[in-house]
Amino acid sequence: MTVQQSPRSDRVTVARVLRPHGRRGEVAAEILTDFPERLTRLKSAELWNEKTATAKRVAVRKCWLSHSRGGQAIFHFENSDSISDAEKLIGLEVQIPLAERIPLPNASYYVTDLIGCEVCEENGATVGLVGDVQFTGEGAAKNPILVVDSARGELLIPLAQEICRSVNIEARRIEVVLPEGLRDLN
């Protein structure tokens, strides 16, 4: 395994290692993807260490999904053969290249693609930049809310077709028609 600097802009985090699982070097990981079944098919991944800003490429011996503790992925990485090996992986992010993400249907977006987009009104006036995306509701009824850093402070804008008329990920631009009074609510 070689350690290299991680240009995080070309990878996406799909899981975060929480704790050892068993005695053979497996780890339990928090699932951070809407497509957890794809984790079971990974042949390799990057393990990103936020503290040292380094990543190492590792082979995935095996991965399976566990329904305990609200649902976790259990990974067995190459060169992790004991509890002490597994403990060294706690806190690391499991990442894959952006190019390997599952394609989304039209009018669906990855959160990582929305963050940093410029939000503008139809007349061209800049509202601000998307700093985060929050979700309200449960299950399939999750409603995304853009957290926009504007000159007047944080502005929460629902990611709804009636409001966000045009989302151009390549241009990093979202065109909105803000409902009357929305700016005053935030």
Same topology, domains 3-100 and 111-185? Answer is: no
Model confidence over 125-168: pLDDT tens digits?
Answer: 999 999 999 888 766 557 889 999 998 889 999 999 899 999 99
Sign of the CA dihedral running 163, 166, 169, 172: negative
What is the Cα–Cα distance from 101 to 12, expressed in whole angstroms?
Answer: 8
Q: Give the pLDDT score at 18.
A: 97
Q: Give the pLDDT score at 27.
A: 98
**CA angle, corner 32, sides to 30 and 35, nearest 5?**
115
* Multiple choice CATH, 3-100, 1.10.10.2520, 3.40.1160.10, 2.40.30.60, 3.30.420.40: 2.40.30.60
Q: Whole-prediction pTM value?
A: 0.70
Model confidence over 68-122: pLDDT tens digits?
Answer: 877 899 999 999 999 999 999 999 999 999 888 888 888 788 888 899 999 999 8
Residue 34 CA: distances (Å) to CA of 25, 37, 122, 125, 179: 26, 9, 32, 34, 30
Superfamily of domain 111-185: PRC-barrel domain (2.30.30.240)
Question: Domain residue spans in the chain?
Answer: 3-100, 111-185
Token digits of residue 56: 């190492």
Residue 171 CA: distances (Å) to CA of 20, 64, 114, 121, 168: 42, 37, 11, 15, 5
